[in-house]
Amino acid sequence: MKSRTKVAVIGGGIAGCSTLYHLTQEGWTDVVLIERDELTSGTTWHSAAQVTNFGMNQTMVGLKSHSIALYQKLRDDPDYPVGYHHGDGGIRLANTEAQMEGYRHFASMARGMGVTYEVIDAEECARRHPLISTDNLLGGLWDGEDGDIDPAQLCQALAFHARRAGAEVYRQTAVTDLTQHSDDTWTVHTTQGDIDADIVVNACGYRVNEVGAMMGVSHPVASMEHQYFVTDDIPAIVGAGHRMPLLRCPISDYYARQEKNGLLVGFYEQDCRTWGMDGISPDFSNDLCPDDLERVMDVLEGAFARMPALAEAGIKRIVNGPITYTIDGAPLVGPIPGKRNAFCIIGLRAGLGEGGGHGWLLAQQIVHGEACHDTWVIDPRRFTGHATVELTSLKAIEDYQNEFRFHFPNEHRPAARMAKTTPLTPVLAAEGAACTVVNGWERAEFFKPAPEFRVTHGFGFDESFDLVAREVHAVQSGVGLAEINGFNRIEIAGPDRHSFLDRLTCGRLQTAAGRVGLSYLLTPQGMLKTEATIANLPASARGPERVWFGSAAAAEYHDMDWLTAHLSPHEDVQLRSLTNDQTILLLAGPQSRDVLSACARGDWSSEAFPWLSVRECCVGFVPATVMSVSFSGELAYEIHVPNAHLYAAYTALRAAGAPHGLKLFGAHAIESMRMEKGFLHWKADILTEFDPFETGLSRFVQMDKGAFVGREALAQRAQAAPKNRRVSLLIHDSTAPAHPGASLMDGTNVIGTITSGAWGHRTGKNLAYAFVQASESAIGTQMMLDLCGKMVPATVIKDAPYDPELRLPRG
């Protein structure tokens, strides 16, 4: 075994083998894989190994398309061919119109990634899969690229090609500990000796937290027992003359694919169970859990009804093995939060089907710092302190029970709720708050008129539409109050704080005491990394001069990692997270100054406290920090309050607002108003796939300011004509918003993709943001939006159709 390597990948399943292979494809050949047993001896060996193009977002579709192309290449390789049934096709069934509408959206979304799905009716489903009944069936989604692959051959082929490129694989070598040194390199301690590595990768499947513990971290990954059986030969398959398509059935919670001349049938039963919560035997390798078909009898009955030939088939073998889940079902692929030179590729519940793409994106991140696609949907840092294994297990059970039932827009499932709350959570619930979840935080979306009020989940405007309109009207005409919890807040202190931030931001940094500015941080490739509100707090009894770095709630770990990684040992800068200590009370509307003045001493006039100012004060008797900033486009104040005092500040504001008719409003109203103002959301409209010029943020770039991260790459990009531009769109339809991922068309050509959409209640317009081909970005350009299968006209309009001169927030 080597004594030193550039990258040590721990784990020899599809995750580890794919990562090793793709590292060599990116040009890094001094890499090793370490496996405690034999390759594929974990979950990989018993995988049902289905390979589909279907994904819930464009990144997932892109990595699955890469997997399919890679697997075809490996299948046809004469030196080490892989058994791969490609192109059998697959159908996802539906028995409700809402499911069918969702499938039409996914077809629109996939088209932008060069992938074609078909939405077909029940009769066509039966024609393509002659074993199924059309009872209680409306139709389905057809993926012509669907198939299955041999797990062991795939992993062995990836390892073979990696070794041929220079990588090494060490089998029967257990990792016993990990030591990180002061230069952030690692020593990997194994049963065969030590190996020093610049970078380590945790690819350990269901043993992920055994290796995580060696790093001092716990990953939000839980395992579920998953059961399938393989039947004897079925005469209808023997006589069909072609391979049967794969079938995924949300109606009866099962899937089926052809296995030789029979079927492999897997179940997602409601009476499911977690596995390995109290530890995993060191001897569990190439092993299975005890069979338990009684547990799946209710699902099996539904499968018999859908596929009558199953009822006559004998069972050849039963497989019950662990598969891994995360909180939202997507894997964790990328940097490990709070660690340097440490990555993971874990929680791959559909590992064989997606693993080629996951390893591809991870290898790009390791070698280049970023991948070709924005990888936030699989980034390990999207979950923060609430993400325990116990919470993950509750979400894993919920996800398992709904395996083939996708999330509808604004659907928030109940498992593991109330992970993060504030003193106002029960107060707002009593006021009728319907809550969403933002990085674990319960946040009000809108306020219900009665406790029994419910919305119908679907892709159109729902029953909350008029309620949100009234909340927006209250803000526009009077004054509204909203709680914005979980907002990421990092206090940056020390004499070098501004020079530190200046070399991370691409524009003019606001440094004046008492003033607030908006800044953008770039990747080394010149693409957008994050957006930050920079507030310069003056010296006071609460502390010396310092900066509050504010960003999206989901960016808590992401931004702290980025700032920490760029902190020089020669700089006198201290970083401290305040994210979980303070909450924002957002006061907005033309009467907001009157309300604030009634409960906080001082002069709050536009002359004494102009737009983009920050001041410490007391709201009632509560210490607070007030910023004159606005995401709604109205006169507004962000009131930052320590959580311990939040209820007292809230009651003071409610009392002061009562004479002015103050109303509560939620996140839906904020979304409507920010769309009318041309304001962007991080990881919706601000992506690492685009630079600030393409995104319409050139006013925040100052190329002559001196060196900053990404400057050289951005300068090179500026010399070339942009390929894409972000635009605002008017959608000529009043029934539904434009959904993220939906395709914009010019005839049969895809020319753009939606990133955000909402109804603008102050303008009466259906608005959207999108990235389109630069040639299609001029104001007035017409195009068609594929809105859940319906072609709807869309027109490029100017940003900020509401108060474009920003007169209102200036007061």
| pLDDT computed for residue 751 by the predictor | 98
**In 10 A of CB 443, how many CB atoms?**
23
| pLDDT computed for residue 811 by the predictor | 87
The encoded tokens of residue 625 equal: 């920090």
User: CA dist 426 to 289, 356, 432, 443, 452, Å?
Assistant: 42, 45, 10, 11, 17
Place of tokens 């990421």: 488
- pLDDT per residue over 503-521, tens digit each? 999 999 999 999 999 999 9
DSSP, res 381: G
| pLDDT computed for residue 453 by the predictor | 98
| pLDDT computed for residue 350 by the predictor | 87
C-alpha closest to that of 322 among 228, 231, 416, 254: 228
Q: For residue 30, what are the β-bridge partners?
A: none
Packing angle of the helix pair 646-657, 592-599 (nearest 10 deg): 120
Q: Give the containing element (helix H, strand E) for 323.
A: strand 315-325
Segments of the chain with pLDDT less than 70: none
Find out whether 303 and 135 touch, Cβ atoms under 8 Å: no
> Whole-angstrom Cα distance, residue 756 to residue 15?
32
Alpha carbon of residue 362 to chain centroid: 15
List, as one string, the DSSP characters of 491-510. Answer: EEESTTHHHHHHTTBSSPPP
Q: Which residues have CB under 8 Å from 494's CB, separation 6+?
A: 571, 572, 573, 574
DSSP, res 515: B
Count of residues for the chain? 811
- pLDDT per residue over 437-481, tens digit each? 999 999 999 999 999 999 999 999 999 999 999 999 999 999 999
Q: Which residues have CB under 8 Å from 607's CB, separation 6+?
A: none
Find out whether 473 and 634 touch, Cβ atoms under 8 Å: no
- pLDDT per residue over 210-234, tens digit each? 999 999 999 999 999 999 999 999 9
Q: For residue 530, what are the β-bridge partners?
A: 521
Using DSSP's 3-state secondary structure scheme, residue 157 falls into helix
Query: What percent of the chain lies above the pLDDT cut of 70?
Result: 100
> Whole-angstrom Cα distance, residue 102 to residue 141?
10
Q: For residue 202, what are the β-bridge partners?
A: 10, 344
